[in-house]
Amino acid sequence: MEPILDDLQLSSWRALLNAHSTLLQRIEHALAEEHLPPLDWYDVLWALYRAPEHRLRMSELAEHTVLSRSGLTRLVDRMEAAGLLERQPAPGDRRGAFAVTTDAGRELLQKMWPVYGGTVREHFARQLTATELRALRDALSRIV
Amino acid sequence: MEPILDDLQLSSWRALLNAHSTLLQRIEHALAEEHLPPLDWYDVLWALYRAPEHRLRMSELAEHTVLSRSGLTRLVDRMEAAGLLERQPAPGDRRGAFAVTTDAGRELLQKMWPVYGGTVREHFARQLTATELRALRDALSRIV
DNA sequence: TAAGATTGATGCTTCAATCTTC
DNA sequence: GAAGATTGAAGCATCAATCTTA
């Protein structure tokens, strides 16, 4: 096997993979315990909440999340059926649609955040010093 | 929204999510470009390659990867059909089975590693200094 | 012809139920 | 009864094809 990565590089990479996998499992588990929907739903609600007038075009929303365009269509279908958001025709462009959160969507967002954020605090933020957090943020931000 | 996480904690967490998502997309893309199977297949081949006699019990293998036991059963089915590994009855315990890599499996492993490792080097390792890599590894290792 | 979004088909993942052996 | 592993059913993700409007 060629030495494409040295030991430090490889162990750092594996640490990233392991930490991510472990943390996401814990988050999904905590949400399920509280009978709350998966993290993807939170991401969509959060992206809409931050947006002007709580709404985004489908394509913009797809970019804010990890989903493909068709994957997003399906997820928005489910969330619309659950009453968490609505589709609105886009004024001036009859091809497109906006997704807009409903009151129920914003309420769910506020129920999910303590569970999501609490898990991140307990298992991630609380384990690291401010110096480490800064180093991690600055290093990983360079990836994108 | 309650201040469950401060700005530094939140931006570090988002940096971790973004970096992971970006890197995995690039890896999967690079593998697909070379007509190679997805990263999960590599993980299974790698776990078996490292193991004594290139074999592991199904349950041990499931722990080494991010998959559930039933998910692993299905993946091993596909990989066995592709000739990359075989199931062997476990001597002394007729409930269980070992998964063992074949020659073809070990060959594929060696084709995948340059593509996988090369992408990790280019987009991850090369962007960070040794000091940053150590800090990242040490901090993230504490999560598990 | 291209952009925005959806759909059909297919493959993958997951849960709970099942089978076999301990 | 419990552990090791598999299976059926159902939900989810993804690709390419499609539909509509620009």
Does the beta-carbon distance from B121 to A4 stay under 8 Å?
yes
In terms of DSSP H, where are the helices of chain A? 7-33, 39-50, 58-64, 69-81, 103-123, 130-141
Name the closest nucleotide to B96, judged by C1' and CA. D4
Q: What does the alpha-carbon distance between residue A17 and residue A37 come to, in Å, rounded to a whole number?
A: 24
Mutate to test the interface with B, among A21, A136, A141 (most CBs of B within 10 A): A136
For A14-43, the pLDDT digits (tens) are 999 999 999 999 999 999 999 999 999 999
Name residues whose C-beta falls within 8 Å of residue B68's C-beta, 6 or more positions apart in sequence: B62
How would residue B28 be classed by pLDDT, with cut points 50, 70 and 90? very high
Nearest to B136 by CA among A58, A15, A62: A15
pLDDT at res. B21:
93
Give me the amino acid identity at A91. Answer: P
Q: What does the alpha-carbon distance between residue A105 and residue A87 come to, in Å, rounded to a whole number?
A: 13
Nearest to A77 by CA among A67, A90, A63, A92: A67
> Do B42 and B116 meet the contact criterion of CB atoms below 8 Å apart?
yes
pLDDT at res. A57:
97
pTM of the entire predicted model? 0.94
Q: How many CB pairs under 8 A join A and B?
A: 144
How would residue A66 be classed by pLDDT, with cut points 50, 70 and 90? confident
Q: What does the alpha-carbon distance between residue A133 and residue B40 come to, in Å, rounded to a whole number?
A: 29
- Chain B residues contacting A, CB < 8 Å? 1-2, 4-5, 8-9, 11-13, 15-23, 66, 110, 113-114, 117-118, 120-121, 123-125, 127-128, 130, 132-137, 139-144
pLDDT at res. B125:
98
- Phi and psi at residue A101, in whole multiples of 5°? -70, 150
Q: What does the alpha-carbon distance between residue B131 and residue B144 come to, in Å, rounded to a whole number?
A: 21
For A74-83, the pLDDT digits (tens) are 999 999 999 9
